[in-house]
Amino acid sequence: MLSISQLVDMQWKLGMAVSSDTCRSLNSPYVSLLLKIAEPSGQICQRSFEMTIPQFQNFHKQFKEMAAVME
């Protein structure tokens, strides 16, 4: 086995960006993911990132393809 980190948990959130310092009137939905990763040393670290809806749909498509390949 390679010493690669393992995915331990995945949390998601769906939100709507309403306003920002550069644009006071936004209307932008996004998905944010929080991954809990166990490093080879055993230490757990967290990585979070955001996607727009089209990006998330692409993300979802990748996983569906992975699942299809495994069948």
Partner 1 sequence: MLLVLSEDHKEHLSFLPKVDSAVVGEFGRIALEFLRRGTSPKIYEGAARKLSVPVETVQHGVEGLMFLMTESSKHMISEVDFLDSVLVLGFGEELNQILLQLYLQHHAQIRSILSQLPSNLPAYHNLEWRLDVQLASRPLRQQVVPMVTMRLLLVGGGAGGHSSRVLQTDPSSLLHLISTLEAALATMKSSHARRIFRNIK
Residues that bind partner 1 (CB under 8 A): 11-22, 26, 29-30
| C-alpha–C-alpha distance, residues 18 and 29, integer Å | 9
- What is the CA angle 52-38-35, rounded to 5? 15
Question: Shortest gap between Cβ of 40 and partner 1 (angstroms)?
Answer: 26
Nearest distance in Å: CB 45, partner 1: 15
Tokens standing for residue 18: 């309403």
Nearer to partner 1, 27 or 41 (CB): 27
Closest distance between partner 1 and the C-beta of residue 1, in Å? 29
| Nearer residue to partner 1 within complex by CB, 20 or 52 | 20
- Candidates 60, 6, 7, 67; CA nearest to 31 is 60
